Chains A and B, each alone.
Chain A
Amino acid sequence: MKPILVFCLLFIAATVNAQQNYDASLISKDLLPYARAVVRNEQINVEVKDFDNTVCHVKEAITVLNKNGDRAARIALYYNKSITIKGVKGAIYNSFGKQIGKFSESNFEDRGTTDGFSLFEDMRVKHYEPAITDYPYTIEYEYELRYEQSLNIPGWMPNSETGIAVEKSSFNFICKPDFNIRYKEINMPTSVYISTSANTGLKTYAWQVNNLKAIKDEPFDPNPENYLSMVKIAPVKFQYEGIDGSFTNWNELGKWISDKLLKNRQAVSPATAQQVIQITSGITDPKLKAKKIYEYMQDRTRYVSVQIGIGGYQPFTAGDVDKVNYGDCKALVNYTQALLKVVGIDSYYCTVEANPSRKISFLTDFASMNQGNHIILCLPFKNDTTWCDCTSQTIPFGYLGDFTDDRNVLACTPDGGKLMHTPKYTAENNLEKRKASFEISATGDMTGEMTTTFKGTEYDDRDWVIAQSQVERLKAMQNIYPINNMNIEKLEFSQDKSLDPSTTENIKLKAPEFASTDNGRITFLLNPVHHIAVPRQVHNRVTNVYINEGYTDEDEITYTLPEGYHLDSEILHRNLDSPFGKFSATMKVEGNQLVYKRKFRLNDGTYPKDTYQDLVDFYQSIADADAHEIILVKNN
């Protein structure tokens, strides 16, 4: 009896929607600026029908305004053995809202998904893109995705992409009255509306937004959580790949991960255990012991992605890694934990959102499964908590870098989960320090030597160069340093992998015609090693200014000038002080020596949006100082 009623209701809803007028001229003029497409109507219904049956029904109508908006009309439906696609259909309307075509699942193209080298990846995608050359046009479609789980409940972010305005978008979460959820509303203009259907007894949580303008691409924009509307949902009781669980906070979720996904996966062979004991014998400091084991792990493993085993959440066993000597982040952390356990060192398996350009923290007040994309290792030494990333064969023990620094992570332990915060690298410590001596000849040629040290988050700045062959390294250095005609005679890197790691780059170079010589003058750029890019201005900025990572550049270049010439340009002396950082550049001439000193400090943080022009001006002033030219003239 009941199912028929539901069907009828849906049917009525569909008929009502079909009458919407998709005439493009009806779009409010307020929604057109910076929009390449406009969502006319989006309706997402997520229903948990049972613990192993969550259905996401999407109905969407998007008007594409120009060729750039074609991307918004693409439909990509991802699926695997536990996600099925159903009820795909759609239609296309011309600019007047007249239907000009229809499509169904048979028009979709089926493809595997590959992201880099992954040994195994069972996710596939069905893909459709309409072929319309007359703009604007509207595509209307619906589909349903069924998930055999209730742990990861799809959330909602109505305008996540730049260049897309939203006329109307609504999100309903539907469940049985005894299915409890927690939800988190972020930047929502209005709060949830909760109702219970008299007919079905089902509970509905409803959200809606109207008339959202298209967001623009803005440099230094903050995390979406800072300004975009979104809703996140987490279950209390759930099932995932046949495993039951429940949680209402990080402690319980961490406990579930530890008990159900990680437990009993850390046995290593006696030979390996023996090996670990042997290499650490004689070391008493547990931190140094851990360092030794970490380096041992690095030496005998490498990172290979394998998206397999309980939806990609469960690591390979330590025994497996021991045998094949490779694994993904989960497997390698679990393996390292197993090795540490042999000598009695306690460690935590931590999930984190890894991102080098944004620090995204786990929400303190809302626990849910999918807030992280990476696993790192935490060593809770007393007053000296130490963190490691186990997926690189080369990074130092205890080094996270900007990939995972300064953010909340979830440590999953047998005693439960807890939020921890990874260490912050300060602007003072993220140092690029350079000392160079350049000799300029009367013909404008330069010979010189330059040593640069990188510390803090800058430590791994040159890793991509070091990874290449010598010929490619030389090409890379020519890209890094804007020195014309740079011929590198010697290029050496050394990396100190101690607890305060640093990278040192040593270059011996020659640059014929480094300076231009005409009319008996020698002209060259005082700062040939930095090329600072001034950020684009933004009129009518919407977002706050976010500087992800602070750093410090310190340069000292000593020029030896050719005999018989004197300086014929201004002495540079520039000091800038702003909330975003400090800059100073000075020069001094003594005899035939010209000493140039430059110091630039950028402070990380979030600043009000109306200070953005000040940041641009700060950068421009630095660029102006960097463009200072030295002119030498022959003595009479």
Chain B
Amino acid sequence: MSNHLSQKFEEIVGKGNVLASEVDRHSYSYDAAVLPPKLPALAVRPETPEALGRVVKTCNELGLPLTVRGSGTNLSGGTIPSVGGVVALTGALNKIIEINEADMYAVVQTGVITAKFATEVAKRGLFYPPDPGSQAVSTLGGNVAENAGGLRGLKYGVTKDYVMGMSFYDVDGELVKTGSRTVKCVTGMNLHGLMVGSEGTLGVFNEIILKLVPPPKASKAMMAIFDDLGKASETVAAIIAAKIVPATLEYMDDFTIRTVEDFAHAGLPTDAKALLLIEVDGHPAQVEDEAAEVEAICKRIGATRIQVAKDAAERNKVWEARRAALSALARVRPTTVLEDATVPRSKIPAMIGALEAIAAKYKLTIGTFGHAGDGNLHPTILTDKRDHVEYARVEAAIDEIFDVALSLGGTLSGEHGIGTAKSKYMVKEVGLGSIQYAKRLKAALDPKGILNPGKITGE
């Protein structure tokens, strides 16, 4: 059957762009989530938007599950295909169609790499703020499908705040247009709003219109170290209470600090209990004022050490510790489970306390770092998936992390998506009615259920 199927897709995308060998199928059976792989029938690599549209149409006609894949960096299994399904690769659809400086927007194809796009935008004196951790390889299509966040969420928002419009293919391969290049647009339903974070379950993106903003003229970074977790959270609250919105406000726990120090020798005190990395940006005068005020707050609440970066080199040094966090943690054990349960900012101390208790209860190593300013923490469980006994405890711990996050008024996922990894927890957060509503919506738009089945709402 697969030979016949390959031929059918070769007619659409060309011979070299159908990947159906044993190794190719295995190559597209996984993503960055710690989940079992699923073997698709084949992968296709369309080189034109028209070919992409025809791939969607054909999959629907044949009732074949279709999963769109950019760089496969998803952490919740969103790009793991269905067994026997089709994977559509967006790598060849990687053109930046327009960067409009006068009207401050850009039009891109879905396979454009996030960091390359941000660089091109910066060359034209503009700024695209969303900066997910995988930005060096992630695609904009993937960012929109997952509503990716990043370090700048607190001040600049996340991907959804930059999507002005798009065109996408419905299951019949018809092109649907929504939104526009204008700041204001109430023409038709806000379908692009629906598409953001839909994880490939409602349509296949073609072109995306993204908002750009002027870059800040100045920025200042500092690192504050605390011997007490409570003081660190108090500092976060005090900064926000002082009506200062830092561009980044990052947190690192004691385990992460020690691991980073072992790995990168950045000069961090290994007896510290918590570390905050704070960067303010904007007009130079405002940056000076705010930086001084933040420094004063840190001092007042009792930071044991404050290091303000005086120049770009020092700023880089301050950031080095944060950049090394995941790398350092990932080297401790073979398997790294990176979670992103998120709570209201004020609940961070409670969440961190609960994480410590969970680590002790299940005898696991958990390092926590993340975006303190927006309540999005990354408890990182260090384990070995080959040790089935320990991994069962990991799964139980994850269940409990979600329960705690929800009990604190938080959410299952801040930026990694639901995919298949967290779909079973959905009901706890949104209730059965919401899931049924989403399922009915999906059934109406995708009657055969071919678009990335099983993601978000489960099977």
Q: Do A and B come from one complex?
A: no
Name A's B-contacting residues (CB within 8 A).
Answer: none
Chain B interface (Cβ within 8 Å of chain A)? none
